[in-house]
């Protein structure tokens, strides 16, 4: 057999071997057995020295073709086998993807916290700071400093838990306003604050009353603050809390610490204003009280009411949560039944 035939026979044999292989690691050994240093092709090529000089280029070319073909067959077979192996592995690894996932226990914020945080974030964005106070307050800061002197008829509006004649559980978060006002340095800019927190009233607990509930109050004091600014701010709040389509209306009211005082209704988010059971057919839901800070409140805090003025507003997160989610018993907020708490998991 001349070189050419030898090479051709070798190729046929190699292709057969490759074709019959069924494992990736066999491919490697086939490669070594033909193309390795001691491989068969290498051995045949050693005979090149006996080939006459003029034939060498021809034989050399054939030899290269054989090597290329072998290499090609090897890699293509390897690829096929690898693909098959992978497919087999994947088939074996297939699981029931509908089985329950590994559990991750997650808790959630109290619904009242969620409501308060939403409001907090809105006002933080508008440049207000959160100021917190103590729940035990003095009669002086809780009442007198918000323009409710002893024997003021409006003290009837909020029955109070007294600890001593001087000390009480705050009935509103307003004492924080007085404390912040008197400490504020107006040369460093306007005062824009709001205070969320627990408040207490002498009420017998039932579906709509709770001796403990929450309040959020906001206060802005600067040189040129108008009632229109209050209205605009509250509109923003109403839209944020209850949806972009909401409108508000202001009604005259009375709070000793503001004048003018208004109560603020938001157009019913359930019926859109047509009248339903949520808004008691009126189309409007009362959500907050507000007004322009009373000059006496400013004066008592050492702020000149002829130069500075502003507005305050207050709302009850408990009431807002009840309205927003249709909670029909305020006591639910303080029983901490996990079946209740877990309902407010949804963030989207």
Partner 1 sequence: MRVSVKWLSEYLDLSSVSPRDLADEITLTGIEVDDVTIPSETLQKLVVGEVLTAEKMEGSDHLNVTTVNVGEDEATQIVCGAPNVKAGQKVIVALPGARLPGGFKIKKSKLRGHVSNGMICSLDELGFSDSVVPKHAEDGIYILPEDAVVGESVLSYVGLDDAFIELDITPNRADALSMRGVAHETGAILSQKPQFKSIELTEDTNETIENWVKVTVTDGDDTPIYKMRVIKDLTIKESPLWLQNKLMNAGIRPIDAVVDVTNYIMLEYGQPLHAFDYDALDSKDILVRRAHDKETMVTLDGQERQLNPDQLVITNGEIPVALAGVMGGENTHVTTETRTVALESAVFDSTSIRKTAQRLNLRSESSSRFEKGINKATVEEALNHAAALIADLGQGTVVTGVASVTHVEPKSVTVESTIDRINRALGTELIEEDIIQVFKRLGFEAEVSSEQVKVTVPPRRWDIAIEADIIEEIARIYGYNNIPSTLPVNETVPGELTREQSLTRFSRHYMEGAGLSQAISYALTTVPEAKAFSLESGEPIELDWPMSEEHRALRKSLISGLLDNVQYNVARQTKNVSLYEIGHVFHNQPGETMPKEVNHIAGVLTGTIVDNTWQETEQTVDYYAAKGIVEGWLEQIGLGDDTQFKPAQDIKGMHPGRTAYILINNKVVGFVGQLHPSVALERDLQDTVLFELNMDCVFGIEQEPLLYTSIPKYPGTSRDIAFVVDETVLHEEILHVMKEQGGKWLSSIRLFDLYQGEKIEPGKKSVAYSLSYLNPDATLKEEDVNGDFEKLKQALIDSFKAEIR
Tell which positions 304-333 bind partner 1, by CB under 8 A: 309, 333
| 251 is an interface residue for partner 1 by CB under 8 A | yes
Choosing from 10, 66, 173, 200, the residue that interacts with partner 1 (CB under 8 A) is: 200
Cα gap 36→67, rounded to integer Å: 11
Angle at 40 between CA 45 and CA 19, to 5 degrees: 125
Cα gap 79→21, rounded to integer Å: 12
Window contacting partner 1 (CB under 8 A); options: 34-42, 59-67, 172-180, 215-223:
215-223
| 102 is an interface residue for partner 1 by CB under 8 A | yes
| 204 is an interface residue for partner 1 by CB under 8 A | yes
Nearer Cβ to partner 1 (34/242): 242
Cα gap 335→138, rounded to integer Å: 29
Residue 51, token pair as written in the block? 């080939």
Choosing from 28, 40, 144, 235, the residue that interacts with partner 1 (CB under 8 A) is: 235
Residue 272, token pair as written in the block? 């859109």
Cα gap 328→321, rounded to integer Å: 10
Window contacting partner 1 (CB under 8 A); options: 13-21, 53-61, 65-73, 153-161:
153-161
| 338 is an interface residue for partner 1 by CB under 8 A | yes
| 100 is an interface residue for partner 1 by CB under 8 A | yes
Residue 154, token pair as written in the block? 């409006």
Nearer Cβ to partner 1 (89/151): 151
Nearer Cβ to partner 1 (66/321): 321
Nearer Cβ to partner 1 (44/300): 300
| 252 is an interface residue for partner 1 by CB under 8 A | yes
Nearer Cβ to partner 1 (211/240): 211
Choosing from 151, 185, 244, 346, the residue that interacts with partner 1 (CB under 8 A) is: 151
Cα gap 217→289, rounded to integer Å: 9
Nearer Cβ to partner 1 (44/250): 250
Choosing from 27, 225, 287, 323, the residue that interacts with partner 1 (CB under 8 A) is: 225
Cα gap 225→236, rounded to integer Å: 16
Window contacting partner 1 (CB under 8 A); options: 9-17, 62-70, 79-87, 130-138:
130-138
Q: Answer whether 130's CB lies under 8 Å from 124's CB.
A: yes
| 262 is an interface residue for partner 1 by CB under 8 A | yes
Q: Give CA 62 to chain center in angstroms.
A: 70
Q: Answer whether 309's CB lies under 8 Å from 321's CB.
A: no
Cα gap 198→128, rounded to integer Å: 20
H or E, element range at 217 = strand 212-222
Nearer Cβ to partner 1 (88/249): 249
| 183 is an interface residue for partner 1 by CB under 8 A | no
Choosing from 8, 33, 158, 212, the residue that interacts with partner 1 (CB under 8 A) is: 212
Task: Give, rounded to a whole angstrom, the gap between the first and last alpha carbons of the chain.
Answer: 81
Q: Answer whether 192's CB lies under 8 Å from 121's CB.
A: no
**How many C-beta atoms lie closer than 10 Å to residue 253's C-beta?**
15
| 128 is an interface residue for partner 1 by CB under 8 A | yes
Nearer Cβ to partner 1 (51/154): 154
**How many C-beta atoms lie closer than 10 Å to residue 301's C-beta?**
20
Size of site (CB under 8 A) for partner 1: 88
Window contacting partner 1 (CB under 8 A); options: 41-49, 57-65, 177-185, 228-236:
228-236
Q: Coil, strand or helix: which one is 94?
A: coil
């Amino acid at each position: 057999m001349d070189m050419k035939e030898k090479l051709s026979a070798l190729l046929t044999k190699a292709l057969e071997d490759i074709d019959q292989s069924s494992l990736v690691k066999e491919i490697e050994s086939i490669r070594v057995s033909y193309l390795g240093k001691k491989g068969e092709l290498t051995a045949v090529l050693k005979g090149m020295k006996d080939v006459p000089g003029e034939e060498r280029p021809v034989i050399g070319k054939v030899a290269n073709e054989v090597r290329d073909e072998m290499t090609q067959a090897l890699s293509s077979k390897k690829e096929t086998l690898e693909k098959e192996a992978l497919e087999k592995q994947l088939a074996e690894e297939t699981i029931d993807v509908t089985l329950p996932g590994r559990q991750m226990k997650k808790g959630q914020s109290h619904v009242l916290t969620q409501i308060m945080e939403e409001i907090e974030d809105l006002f933080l964005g508008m440049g207000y700071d959160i100021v917190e106070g103590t729940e035990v307050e003095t009669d002086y800061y809780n009442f007198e400093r918000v323009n409710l002197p002893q024997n003021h008829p409006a003290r009837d509006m909020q029955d109070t838990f007294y600890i001593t004649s001087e000390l009480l559980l705050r009935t509103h978060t307003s004492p924080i306003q007085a404390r912040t006002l008197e400490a504020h340095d107006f040369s460093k800019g306007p005062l824009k604050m709001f205070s969320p927190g627990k408040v207490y009233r002498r009420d017998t607990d039932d579906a709509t009353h709770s001796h403990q509930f929450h309040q959020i109050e906001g206060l802005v004091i600067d040189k040129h603050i108008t009632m229109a600014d209050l209205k605009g701010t509250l509109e923003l709040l109403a839209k944020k809390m209850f949806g972009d389509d909401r409108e508000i209306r202001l009604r005259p009211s009375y709070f000793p610490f503001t004048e003018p005082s208004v109560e603020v209704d938001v157009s019913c988010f359930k019926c859109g204003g047509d009248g339903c059971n949520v808004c008691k057919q009126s189309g409007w839901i009362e959500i907050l009280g507000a007004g322009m800070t009373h000059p006496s409140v400013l004066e008592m805090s050492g702020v000149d009411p002829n130069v500075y003025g502003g507005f305050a507003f207050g709302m009850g997160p408990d009431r807002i949560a009840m309205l927003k989610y249709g909670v029909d018993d305020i006591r639910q907020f303080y029983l901490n039944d996990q079946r209740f708490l877990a309902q407010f998991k949804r963030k989207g």
